Amino acid sequence: MMHILLTGEIQIGKSTVIKKTLSLLNLPYGGFCTYFGPDRANPDRYLYINDAAAPPSYGALHVVARFQDSAMPEAYPERFNTLGVQYISEARQKARLIILDECGSLEWKADAFQNEILSTLEGSIPVLGVIKLSASGWVDKLRHHPNVTLITVDQTNRNTLPPLLSGMLNNACGIVQRI
């Protein structure tokens, strides 16, 4: 099965590649995405999680980590284990493409979340996701998973990847593209 995970430097455009790829597909998708809020530039800010097919939600229930000036991020593994697992599980039941955006080191204590992702990579529904380049530990299982193709996003390929990925994913889903 075709599972594609993107990696690359911070702010190189990995999530943008996913968004542009999704805009080229006509597939029901689900899964999760993490994102900062409007306070992204502040030293004290929050990281949120939501269903990949839903608009961002900046409510307290969606917070998965708190970033503070001069301190290590404080992760909330219970949120990954509840909301993250819920979004992936729902996608496995009704989507034709699963989004995992993004997997990194904040989830190192979220065992249920990690297991849900690893189980998803054993499944038949194609995955498009992101692995944080600097993360290690549990994400190494994703990087080296036999069902995963790992692609590094950089300035030279970030604009050409969406049409390439959409073709690959359409093929994986058995969709014939008409010219």
Which residue spans within 96-156 are E strands per DSSP? 97-103, 127-131, 148-152
By the 10 Å C-beta count (0-12 exposed, 13-18 middle, 19+ buried), 151 is classed as middle
Structural tokens at position 14: 């990995």
Angle at 138 between CA 133 and CA 142, to 5 degrees: 65
Q: What is the pLDDT of residues 124-149, one digit of tens each?
A: 999 999 999 999 999 999 999 999 99
At 91 the pLDDT is 98
**145 three-state secondary structure:** coil
Q: What is the pLDDT of residue 177?
A: 55
pTM: 0.94
Distances (CA, A) of 179 to 58, 168, 176: 40, 16, 10
Does the pLDDT at position 179 exceed 50?
no
Kindly state the percentage of the chain with pLDDT values over 90.
89
Residue 45's DSSP bridge partners are 67
User: How confident is the model over 54-91, as pLDDT tens digits?
Assistant: 999 999 999 999 999 889 999 999 999 999 999 999 99
* Sheet strand arrangement including 45-51: 74-75, 63-67, 45-51, 29-36, 97-103, 127-131, 3-7, 148-152
Structure tokens at 91: 């996608």
* Separation of alpha carbons 153 and 61, rounded Å: 31
Return left, alpha or beta for 137; rule: phi > 0 is left, psi -120 to 50 is alpha, else beta: left
